[in-house]
C-alpha cells in the first residue's frame, strides 16, 4: 500500500516517542510505501484534491529517522490510505483541511480518521455523546452557572474546550480564595464556553489513555500519573507514564463506545478515563503508542496498519 501521513513538520517530531513516527515505521516494516505531507500542502483544482508529498525511507535511528527518497504532487486518491495526524489546535486552517479531505473522500480517497468525524468529535465535547459514562459535567460560558456547579459539587475541574496537553486546566474548590478570578479568566468574563467536571480523586492513580483501534480496545492503557503537587496527569505537564492492563471498567467503557466510534469513521481513538469515568475522546492525533509498546510489548501501530489493509 501507499500510505500518506498528514503531520506536523518532520524536523520537529520527536521520533523516540511520536506515535505517528511509530506507525510510519510499522508500515515500512510491513513493506508499505510511506509518504508525508503537511496540511498546508493540500490544494484543490476543481474537485481534485492533491498535495505535495515526500516519500520517506525510515530508520531506527531516532536522530536521523527518515530520509526523503522522492517528492511528487499527487491526488489523494493515488494513496491507499491518508492518515490525518496533525496535532491540534483545531483552528480555522485545521477546519479547512478537513473540508478538503472530505472532498477527496467523495472522490474515493480513504481518509483516517474520517473528516466529518474529526469535525463532529470535539475532544472535550464528544463525551456528551456518552454521558452515561462521565462524571457530572457542565458546558457553559455563564459565570453564574459555573459558580452554581462549583457550589453543588464542591471540588471541580475547569478546562477550556480547545486546550491540549493539560493546558488551561484548573482545579477549583468551593472555598478557593481565587475562585472568582479563575472562573472569570477561564470564561473570559462570560464570553468563552468552558467545561466543568466534578473532580475525580482517582486521578492520583493516573489519567488513563485507552487506545481504541478500529472499534476494539488495545489490551493495555498508559496511566499518566501526576507529579507531586499537581492535578494534571498529562505527560506534557510532567506526568509519569506507566503502561497497565485495562481494568474491567476501562474495558467496559471502551467496548461500549467502540462500535459507535467505528461506525462514525474513527479508526484511531484515544479515550481518557479517570477511575470509573470517561473524560475525553481524542481523535485528532492520539498518542502513547510508543510508551505502551516499550513497557508492555503491545503494538497498537500494528493494529492500525492491519486495519488499513
What secondary structure letter does DSSP report for 227? P
User: Which among 85, 208, 282, 302 is annotated as catalytic?
Assistant: 282
Residues forming beta bridges with residue 243, ordered by sequence position: 222
Annotated active-site residue 145? The verdict is no
User: Which among 26, 105, 280, 302 is annotated as catalytic?
Assistant: 280
Q: What nine digits make up the cell of 153? A: 459539587
Annotated active-site residue 232? The verdict is yes
User: Which among 113, 207, 232, 291 is annotated as catalytic?
Assistant: 232
Annotated active-site residue 280? The verdict is yes
User: Which among 124, 160, 198, 208 is annotated as catalytic?
Assistant: 124
**Residue 284 falls in which region: left (phi positive, over 0), alpha (psi -120 to 50) or beta:** alpha
User: Which among 224, 234, 291, 302 is annotated as catalytic?
Assistant: 224
User: Which among 18, 207, 272, 291 is annotated as catalytic?
Assistant: 272
Could you give the CA distance from residue 195 to residue 137 in angstroms, rounded to a whole number? 7
Could you give the CA distance from residue 296 to residue 219 in angstroms, rounded to a whole number? 10
- Residues contacting residue 186 through CB under 8 Å, at least 6 positions apart: 146, 158, 160, 168, 170, 192, 194
Annotated active-site residue 209? The verdict is yes
Please compute Rg for the chain using Cα positions: 20
- Residues contacting residue 64 through CB under 8 Å, at least 6 positions apart: none
Annotated active-site residue 114? The verdict is no
User: Which among 209, 234, 250, 291 is annotated as catalytic?
Assistant: 209
What are the angstrom distances between the C-alpha of 216 and each of 81, 128, 152, 213, 260? 20, 21, 36, 5, 11
Write down the H helix ranges in 163-247.
Answer: 179-186
Could you give the CA distance from residue 264 to residue 255 in angstroms, rounded to a whole number? 15
User: Which among 159, 160, 198, 208 is annotated as catalytic?
Assistant: 159
Residues catalogued as catalytic: 124, 159, 209, 224, 232, 272, 280, 282
Amino acid at each position: 500500500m501507499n500510505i500518506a501521513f498528514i503531520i506536523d513538520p518532520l524536523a520537529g517530531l520527536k521520533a523516540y516517542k511520536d506515535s505517528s513516527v511509530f506507525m510510519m515505521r510499522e508500515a515500512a516494516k510491513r513493506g508499505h510505501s510511506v509518504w508525508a505531507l503537511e496540511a498546508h500542502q493540500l490544494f484543490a483544482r476543481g474537485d481534485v484534491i492533491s498535495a505535495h508529498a515526500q516519500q520517506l525511507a525510515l530508520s531506527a535511528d531516532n536522530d536521523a529517522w527518515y530520509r526523503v527518497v522522492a517528492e511528487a504532487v499527487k491526488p489523494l486518491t493515488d494513496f491507499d490510505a491518508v492518515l490525518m495526524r496533525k496535532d491540534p489546535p483545531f483552528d480555522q486552517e485545521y477546519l479547512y483541511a478537513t473540508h478538503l479531505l472530505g472532498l477527496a473522500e467523495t472522490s474515493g480517497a480513504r481518509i483516517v480518521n474520517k473528516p466529518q468525524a474529526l469535525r463532529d468529535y470535539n475532544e472535550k465535547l464528544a463525551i456528551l455523546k456518552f454521558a452515561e459514562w462521565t462524571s457530572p459535567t457542565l458546558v457553559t460560558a455563564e459565570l453564574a452557572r459555573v459558580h452554581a456547579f462549583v457550589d453543588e459539587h464542591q471540588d471541580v475541574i475547569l478546562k477550556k474546550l480547545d486546550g491540549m496537553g493539560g493546558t488551561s486546566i484548573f482545579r477549583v474548590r468551593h472555598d478557593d480564595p481565587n475562585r472568582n478570578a479563575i472562573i472569570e479568566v477561564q470564561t473570559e468574563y462570560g464570553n468563552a464556553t468552558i467545561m466543568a467536571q466534578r473532580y475525580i480523586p482517582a486521578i492520583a492513580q493516573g489519567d488513563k489513555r485507552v487506545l481504541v483501534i478500529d472499534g476494539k480496545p488495545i489490551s493495555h492503557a498508559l496511566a499518566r500519573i501526576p507529579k507531586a503537587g499537581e492535578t494534571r496527569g498529562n505527560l506534557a505537564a510532567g506526568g509519569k507514564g506507566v503502561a497497565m492492563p485495562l481494568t474491567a471498567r476501562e474495558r467496559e467503557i471502551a467496548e461500549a463506545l467502540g462500535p459507535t466510534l467505528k461506525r462514525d469513521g474513527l479508526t484511531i481513538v484515544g479515550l481518557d478515563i479517570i477511575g470509573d469515568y470517561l473524560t475525553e475522546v481524542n481523535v485528532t492525533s492520539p498518542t502513547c503508542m510508543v510508551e505502551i509498546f516499550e513497557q508492555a510489548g503491545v503494538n497498537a501501530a500494528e493494529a492500525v496498519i492491519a486495519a488499513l489493509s
